[in-house]
């Protein structure tokens, strides 16, 4: 398993109950800022193989954009998010900024990214 894939799975597992993250956010935290699409593919290929909370990862605009998965679908993701107290409309949108998970500095260090990159992530999150 690639280190990027391992970091993606580690990060998705870190998103707590009642919070969401975007595909791009997970890619950024994993050290490959422009790999949002790859995060989606990793979640798709691990579907049913790992017990990870895939439903907590959504489009950066607060839209459920899942498609083409074997078991997962928009309505299932909507129900799972609603069961965690995250309101999702019939159009599959949610107030992402209200429920967005942000990586703590301590958790960023656990990812063993270069110190300069970790500082960049922390700066971006303050904006």
Query: What are the pLDDT digits (tens) for 67-118?
Result: 766 677 899 999 999 999 999 999 999 999 999 998 887 887 787 777 777 7
Q: How confident is the model at residue 25 (pLDDT cuts 50, 70, 90)?
A: very high
The region of weakest confidence among 12-21, 46-55, 58-67, 76-85 is 46-55
* Domain ranges for the chain: 3-126
For 39-48, what is the mean pLDDT? 86
Select from 3.90.1200.10, 1.10.10.10, 3.30.930.10, 3.40.50.300 the CATH code of 3-126.
Answer: 1.10.10.10
Please report the pLDDT score of residue 1 as a whole number: 61
- 123's tokens: 């700066």
Work out the mean pLDDT of the chain and round it to a whole number.
88
Reference 20, options 88, 96, 89, 118; nearest CA is 96
Helices (H) and strands (E) in the chain, counts: 7, 2
- 116's tokens: 């300069």
């Amino acid at each position: 398993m690639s280190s990027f894939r391992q970091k993606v799975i580690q990060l998705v597992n870190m998103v707590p109950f009642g919070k969401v993250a975007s595909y791009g956010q997970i890619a950024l935290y994993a050290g490959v800022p422009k790999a949002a699409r790859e995060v989606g593919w990793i979640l798709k290929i691990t579907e049913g193989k790992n017990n990870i909370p895939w439903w907590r990862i959504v489009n950066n605009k607060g839209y459920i954009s899942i498609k083409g998965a074997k078991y997962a679908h928009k309505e299932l993701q909507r129900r799972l998010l609603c069961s965690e107290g995250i309101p999702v409309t019939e159009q599959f949108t949610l107030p992402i900024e209200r429920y967005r998970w942000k990586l703590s500095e301590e958790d960023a260090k656990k990812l063993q990214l270069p110190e300069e990159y970790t500082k960049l992530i922390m700066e971006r999150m303050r904006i």
